[in-house]
Structure 1
Amino acid sequence: MRRIAVLLAAGALLAGCATPPPAPGELVALGRVSIKRPQGNDYANFVWTWHGAESRLDLNNPLGQTLAQLTLGPNGARYRAADGRALSAADADQLLQDGLGWTVPVNGLAYWLKGEADPASPASIRNTDGVRTIEQAGWRIELSDWRARGAGQPLPRRLHLTRPDLDLRIAISEWQP
């Protein structure tokens, strides 16, 4: 009887570690990002979940420890650090800068990850040999390694974002559902 209780407890613990399946209507991207900037390099794993008009970006260090959680919605953005510190503002880009010191274009990235230009600003889009290049808001975004997702449009698995002072590489390991 004791062995069964231990096995059930272990199973419950392992089930708690798994990524839960997305809710109907959700889109989830799991991946990693590398940021090269004059101040140094940073690396993180991420889970970005979109549900309707809201999205949530969870950032973890390579060991799986939480760095931050950023929630974006029609009423602005909220940032929660690993130490519990909470910030909110109208601009998600500024929150990530204030919280982690990363100058990452979160607002545009929410669209670029899905292979689209941000509708909030003018963009130049070019498609060549399976690579879509978007030039927008001072960034050059190259999207590649497109994968079909059921009946929906294909989504990129590799993104390379550049600006004179910053180089971001994003690898998406999985799109759900």
Structure 2
Amino acid sequence: MPMHRLSRFACAFAFSAALAGCATTSNVPLANPAAQVGAYRDTIDLNGRLAANYSKDGQPQSINGNFTWVQRPGRIDVALFSPLGQTVAEITVTPETATLTQSGRQPRVEKDIDTLTAKALGWTLPVSGLRDWLQGYAVDAGGKRFAASPAHDSVVTNDGWRLRFVEWQNGPQGAPTPRRIDAERSTTAVGDALTIRIVIDPVA
């Protein structure tokens, strides 16, 4: 994508707030604070806010906006919105392809979402990891399945992300579910360090 188009995209989604300004949250009393996350679900619908700090052409960048996440077996649909509610991008991920659509432009297709977002956004949106992280799961550096809990809230993933499940809320059947996730990686598909903060709206 030409640099002027990338810049236009970045401006549509970005504003001057730094990562720390993504959201102010407070701890939610948990029904069972000693428990780990509930069983993994293939079907979920989530809304939330996302902020990222990254470097582009050696310059620090910050973005901040809202998202929706619709997950079904074999398919994930993500929509990204500006702070004013304008649709910035729509992403569809299946086992075969990842597609990104922006208003007035031809859809972009790549074999995986990390490559697609790195090329189109200038930073890597780790959808492949988020399908686990949003529910409190990950694969750790040793290749083992990690299930988070309020008492066991940090992990380094097998692809180099350092995760911390900072805040929690009550999920289905009272099991704790992540409310805020901080993710950091020193190198990404575009080569620069990336820090992401995700705040998830209350889960139905």
**Pair in the same fold by TM > 0.5:** yes
Shift of 1:114: 1.2
The alignment-based identity, stated in percent, is 29
Answering whether residue 189 of structure 2 is matched by residue 167 of structure 1, we say no
**Which of these two proteins has the greater Rg computed from alpha carbons?**
1
- For residues 60-139 of structure 1, the aligned pairs below 5 Å read 60-118=81-139, 122=143, 125=146, 130-136=151-157, 137-139=159-161
Partners in 2 of 1:129 and 1:173 — Cα distance?
18
Answering whether residue 176 of structure 2 is matched by residue 154 of structure 1, we say yes
Partners in 2 of 1:71 and 1:65 — Cα distance?
18
Contact 2:109 2:116 in 1 (8 A): yes
How many residue pairs end up in the alignment? 151
Structure with greater strand share of residues: 1
Instruction: Give the TM-score, by structure 1 length.
Output: 0.74
Contact 1:47 1:58 in 2 (8 A): yes
- 1:28 alignment partner, one of 22, 45, 49: 45
Instruction: Give the TM-score, by structure 2 length.
Output: 0.65
Contact 1:130 1:146 in 2 (8 A): no
Partners in 2 of 1:118 and 1:71 — Cα distance?
23
Shift of 1:110: 1.8
Contact 1:112 1:118 in 2 (8 A): no
Contact 1:32 1:172 in 2 (8 A): yes
Higher relative contact order (CA 8 A, sep 6+): 2
Relative to structure 1, is the Cα distance of residues 77 and 126 closer, same or farther in structure 2, using a 3 angstrom cutoff? closer
Partners in 2 of 1:152 and 1:83 — Cα distance?
43
Task: For residue 169 of structure 1, give the secondary structure of its aligned residue in structure 2.
Answer: strand
Runs of 4+ more than 3 Å apart: 123-131
Partners in 2 of 1:107 and 1:127 — Cα distance?
18
Structure 2, unpaired ranges of 5+: 1-41, 187-192
Partners in 2 of 1:133 and 1:41 — Cα distance?
24
Partners in 1 of 2:136 and 2:150 — Cα distance?
15
Structure 1, unpaired ranges of 5+: 1-24
Contact 2:71 2:77 in 1 (8 A): yes
Q: Deviations over 1:108-139 (max 9, x none)?
A: 122111111159x8258486753521211111
